């Protein structure tokens, strides 16, 4: 067996569209109304990944630390915009909150992983830093969206209890602690579930990609362990920062629940 990446020709890539036809057939058969977004998503996937392939080739050749920092920061902003779009029903939610949470968690965990664990030469190697930070961002983005949605739902559900605690002198933080815990738990649950079944039910993308690229499976497993643990840490930190920033928006300047929360009180 030869090592190395098995190349995919243009014809073989085009044949991958058969998979989209299969998914589209399911949508059409069940009348899910997903055919249009599926086609549009496929077009965007081809376009975006093709462009990023050329961009990354250029970035890898330049190998400049400031360029890497700028790119990661822009990635954080794009992820923040995406995360805010996934919680349209949450009042007072701004992209800025997501950006701060994602920026802090991504740079904190990503720096620890690339600086202390993988330790590439140079430390800012875009071939290592950008994929690592990208994986952190993708998972943390989903985590904070889930956490924020749960915090908002919990606050509305427990509004009478929160109002009662405030009446008896509790601070806003003390009144919503239970909701905060449930929110962070909701954001972390998918990641924890992945930790439970990785290797038994699923073979994650990074590990599979390295194996397809000819890497020793044992070495690929080491990298995947690092990735899984870094994702868990980043999601936990990101969710904590997100709910820590947002919970204050549930209350007005007087420390009482805002009307969009209080309207659930009967």
Q: Which residues of the chain have pLDDT under 50?
A: 1-2, 265-266
On whether residue 5 sits in a domain, the answer given is no
pLDDT confidence of residue 183: 92
Which residue segment(s) compose the domain that 40 sits in? Answer: 10-62
pLDDT confidence of residue 1: 42
187/231 same-domain check: yes
pLDDT confidence of residue 82: 84
pLDDT confidence of residue 203: 65
161/44 same-domain check: no
Residue 256's contacts (CB-CB under 8 Å, 6 or more residues apart) are: 163, 166, 262
Distance, CA of 153 to CA of 246 (rounded, Å): 13
On whether residue 45 sits in a domain, the answer given is yes
In 80-141, which ranges are E strands? none
Nearest to 115 by CA among 102, 94, 104, 129: 129
**Would you say the C-alpha torsion 63, 65, 66, 69 has a positive or negative sign?**
positive
pLDDT confidence of residue 113: 92
On whether residue 200 sits in a domain, the answer given is yes
163/198 same-domain check: yes
122/153 same-domain check: yes
Q: State the Cα angle at 95 between 262 and 123, rounded to 5°.
A: 135
On whether residue 81 sits in a domain, the answer given is yes
55/101 same-domain check: no
Distance, CA of 123 to CA of 120 (rounded, Å): 5
pLDDT confidence of residue 56: 87
């Amino acid at each position: 067996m030869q090592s190395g990446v098995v190349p995919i020709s243009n014809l073989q890539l085009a044949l991958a569209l058969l998979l989209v036809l299969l998914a589209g057939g399911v949508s059409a058969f069940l009348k899910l109304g997903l055919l249009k977004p599926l086609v549009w998503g496929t077009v965007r996937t081809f376009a975006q990944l093709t462009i990023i392939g050329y961009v990354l080739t250029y970035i890898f050749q330049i190998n400049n630390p400031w360029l890497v920092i700028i790119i990661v920061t822009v990635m954080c902003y794009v992820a923040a915009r995406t995360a805010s779009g996934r919680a349209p029903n949450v009042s007072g939610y701004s992209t800025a909150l997501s950006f701060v949470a994602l920026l802090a968690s991504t740079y904190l965990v990503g720096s620890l992983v690339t600086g202390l664990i993988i330790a590439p030469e140079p430390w800012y190697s875009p071939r290592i830093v950008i994929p690592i930070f990208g994986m952190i961002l993708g998972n943390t983005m989903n985590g904070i969206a889930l956490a924020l949605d749960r915090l908002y739902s919990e606050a509305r559900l427990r509004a009478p209890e929160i109002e009662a605690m405030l009446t008896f002198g509790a601070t806003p933080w003390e009144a919503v602690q239970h909701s905060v815990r449930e929110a962070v738990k909701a954001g972390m649950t998918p990641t924890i579930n992945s930790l439970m079944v990785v290797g038994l039910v699923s073979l994650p993308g990074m590990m599979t990609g390295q194996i397809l690229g000819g890497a020793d499976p044992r070495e690929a497993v080491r990298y995947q362990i690092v990735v899984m643990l870094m994702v868990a840490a980043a999601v936990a930190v990101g969710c904590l920062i997100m709910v820590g920033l947002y919970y204050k928006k549930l209350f007005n300047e007087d420390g009482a629940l805002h009307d969009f929360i209080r309207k659930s009180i009967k």
